[in-house]
Amino acid sequence: MPKAIDMHVHLPTSSWLDVAIQPYRVPAEKFFRATVPTREMEEVARLYEELDILGVLLAWDAETATGLAPLTNDEVASIVRRYPKQFIGFASVDPWKGKKAIIEMERAVKALGLKGAKFHPGIQAFYPHDVHFYPLYEKISELGVPALFHTGTSGLGAGMPGGMGIKLDHTRPIWLDHVAADFPKLTIIGAHPAWPWHEEMLAIIQHKSNVFMDLSGWSPKYLPKVIVDEARGRLSDKMLFGSDYPFITPQRWLADFEAVTAAAGFSPETKVKILYDNAAGILRLV
């Protein structure tokens, strides 16, 4: 059993950085104040092995909204097949592709062995609670895998004119509350601390047993205090480690998590829940 599960790992490959998110790459590097070198997945697999972390790799298809070629589910699946101890994969389907998206979602899980779905309502430019997309959620719920949705402001487009067309309203967590209410069997993970709507997100994970949040994309040092307090307390079963690699490395996230949780007096059990147990439950590894 690995020491931790990183719920949020992007591929630092050319297929993601130079193709699927190409125009967003440089502004995102500025936002995260880190240059992000292109790497081969072999190197990433070695890093995750050394750190004893199981990483959840995320595919990417925002083709309708961005016109950019996707990082395909097949590519993610082939990496998982090469490094089955180090990675599992979440599919991405472009919700605007309608029936094709539903068919692809089913293929990604049943034929490719991917274990969840990843959405970015900001980049994919859709409101998660629009009933137009409900047949897709119906399928994901039927497949019995979780759906991860980006929430809160985005490093992609940050600091650019018009935020490069990305509308933050799409990323509000409250829209996921509708989906969670209408699909009680669907496990939903809000990705990132959902800033500036983090209290909205905390209300949802407190109210809906089928909703969780990952803490990726922010060093734990900068998490709003209310998130740290809830993670130590009543919502310790609802929060998950995620790095948002390659923008934040798991080494940095884990080191900052150690410092923050030591200062805030987290019990060892609570830390294990956030680093491993909660995700293992969602991914049915236990």
Note the residues at the interface with Zn ion (CB under 5 A).
Answer: 244
C-beta closer to Zn ion: residue 167 or 207? 167
C-beta closer to Zn ion: residue 230 or 244? 244
In the chain, the amino acid numbered 226 is V
C-beta closer to Zn ion: residue 75 or 266? 75
Task: Determine the Cα–Cα distance for residues 283 and 220; give it in Å rounded to an integer.
Answer: 23
Q: Least distance to Zn ion from the beta carbon of 79, Å?
A: 17
Check if the beta carbon of residue 247 is closer than 8 Å to that of residue 28: yes
DSSP code per residue over 77-113: HHHHHHSTTTEEEEB---GGGTHHHHHHHHHHHHTT-
C-beta closer to Zn ion: residue 88 or 102? 88
Q: Least distance to Zn ion from the beta carbon of 21, Å?
A: 10
Q: Least distance to Zn ion from the beta carbon of 164, Å?
A: 16
Residue nearest to Zn ion (CB): 244
Q: Least distance to Zn ion from the beta carbon of 226, Å?
A: 22
Q: Least distance to Zn ion from the beta carbon of 286, Å?
A: 25
Handedness of CA 20, 23, 28, 29 (dihedral sign): positive
Task: Determine the Cα–Cα distance for residues 261 and 231; give it in Å rounded to an integer.
Answer: 10
C-beta closer to Zn ion: residue 245 or 257? 245
Q: What is the 3-state secondary structure (H, E, C) of 106-134?
A: HHHHHCCCCCCEEECHHHHCCCCCCHHHH
Q: Least distance to Zn ion from the beta carbon of 9, Å?
A: 9
Task: Determine the Cα–Cα distance for residues 200 and 177; give it in Å rounded to an integer.
Answer: 10
- Terminal Cα-to-Cα distance of the chain (whole angstroms): 10
C-beta closer to Zn ion: residue 6 or 104? 6
Residues 6+ apart with CB under 8 A from 167: 122, 125
